[in-house]
Structure 1
């Protein structure tokens, strides 16, 4: 049985959902606002003969033509663009960091969302990019350097035990919690994500996710914002993890605008019920926008 079939009751059109999951994922790049503008990248692509088209819901994203690779163009080498899955751009939009703020990306490597956060902060303020994988941290540092990011501090720690001591004990204004997950939503580019799927893995990684989200809430100031995101469809890793946080911490789910098609988070799964506010979370399915699958929710820490 295809593991994705367990989500047929959640999909408005299961046949379209499965068909989309079997199609190759379009190649997308994000304009790095620290070094370039969409118009500048557009002109560079045209001069280099790169086939592309704008993504309607985000002016800083371009879909490349079939066979085009983000890394094969000089705008990539110079840090003007970053190869990034389209829905991967959602969490930074939801977090909405401002120039001069203190921002934590607790699972940052290899850096697609971190560099996006830096650009939205206009490279000002403090941005901490944390990960516990040394090899991935090397990629984070390399990508940040290529993109001209200068407000980034890179740390290596288990996000479940992230310490504020190196930062004078001062909590963050905003924290991005893009956690490790079962990656079911990446099936269009990583078929092995489904081929190696097991419920034991889903339930095991959910425990890690609960710990990461809990610590992220603790290190975010009262009135601050925490955005939780995954690239999986599993409610065990999405709504159930959020439910645990809502029960354990003084925080609440808040609405946020998303300029592409999504459906609300669910309030029931396999006999388990979740708060009605879970509808403020957003589920993104591959057949709605011709993207990967994604989940994103925005929390406000009580003031």
Structure 2
């Protein structure tokens, strides 16, 4: 790998989306000073938060992130896991009291289909005080290791939902590792249990060769024939060709997930390093890469297709500015949904 390729990979890894991995069921006990005056000044000036609500916004950023899980697999299998969770654990947890306080049972995410995603504010300290909660915790660990449950942040589950996947869609996941969103895409392809082998497929790409093995692991546990993992720089991912009636045609994708490397300043509730290391230069350095990846994405989008661009950053330089530049370059060929 040449010097420029190594630098490109280093830049993409530096801002990788950290939302796929969940902070866990309760954080550690080390007290961290959650302050960054430059961050506060910058976002006050941006005016993203309604007037009079900025202090409330900052307090919310200092709160621990609720732990979330997503039940993985195809519909029939996922329903069995959900039934087990409800009947064996959630029902008893609702009646549980610790130190005179009633424990709030895990709650489903109202916007996620079929109650397949749940969140809880239970800390490790509370879990250790109850044999029932400890048993529940061990069940989650076991099911996560076997691939039946993914510990995935709620916000990470949103982009695949917005793609509105159908079984015949050809899908490109441009910056896919570690692969929780890729797994969602595969599951959506198989949403119709009457179709054992969907026409569509997912091509999952990542610039980091080692992280591609995580993608392979995610795909393997779903036993789907509809996934291919590739290892390219997303900003110049090659065009593929397919055989169609004896001739070679360029492959255009019906759906593209463009979840680009970012500064990650929207992850402050779990990523403590952001409080200490955030500067305005983080986003400025990534904007060009993000735009190049987005441009390469729309170049491979089929007519009438949909691309979802996402980051875990609050910064308009990484979000609105990228989309504005992309629309300007497209000269009317693409429209925001």
Range class of TM-score, shorter chain: 0.7 to 0.9
* Structure whose CA Rg is larger: 2
Higher strand share: 1
**Alpha-carbon offset, residue 233 of structure 1:** 0.5
The answer to whether the 8 A contact 1:31-1:37 is kept is: no
Query: Of the candidates 15, 39, 43, which is equivalent to residue 3 of structure 1?
Result: 39
Q: Secondary structure at the match of 1:73?
A: helix
Query: Of the candidates 315, 318, 329, which is equivalent to residue 234 of structure 1?
Result: 315
Matched, 1:197 2:237: no
**Count of aligned pairs between the two proteins:** 254
Alpha-carbon distance change, 110 to 84 in structure 1, aligned in 2, over 3 angstroms: same
Higher helix share: 2
Whole-angstrom distance in 2 between the partners of 1:77 and 1:223: 39
**Alpha-carbon offset, residue 85 of structure 1:** 0.6
Whole-angstrom distance in 2 between the partners of 1:186 and 1:54: 21
Aligned-residue RMSD, C-alpha: 2.2
| Equivalent runs, 1:75-86 vs 2, <5 Å | 75-86=143-154
Counterpart for residue 66 of structure 1: 123
TM-score by length of structure 2 reads 0.70
The answer to whether the 8 A contact 2:189-2:201 is kept is: no
Query: Of the candidates 177, 187, 201, which is equivalent to residue 119 of structure 1?
Result: 187
Whole-angstrom distance in 1 between the partners of 2:40 and 2:226: 40
Q: Secondary structure at the match of 2:271?
A: coil
The superposition leaves residues 172-209 of structure 1 with CA deviations (integer Å, 9 ceiling, x where unpaired) of 11101000000011111102123222222211111100
Query: Of the candidates 113, 129, 150, which is equivalent to residue 225 of structure 2?
Result: 150
The answer to whether the 8 A contact 1:104-1:129 is kept is: yes
**Alpha-carbon offset, residue 134 of structure 1:** 1.4
Whole-angstrom distance in 2 between the partners of 1:100 and 1:229: 23
Q: Secondary structure at the match of 2:74?
A: coil
The answer to whether the 8 A contact 1:95-1:226 is kept is: yes
Any stretches of 5+ residues in structure 2 without a counterpart?
Answer: 1-36, 91-104, 128-136, 191-196, 243-248
Alpha-carbon distance change, 39 to 66 in structure 1, aligned in 2, over 3 angstroms: farther
Whole-angstrom distance in 2 between the partners of 1:55 and 1:100: 28
Whole-angstrom distance in 2 between the partners of 1:121 and 1:215: 24
The answer to whether the 8 A contact 2:140-2:149 is kept is: no
Whole-angstrom distance in 2 between the partners of 1:26 and 1:20: 12
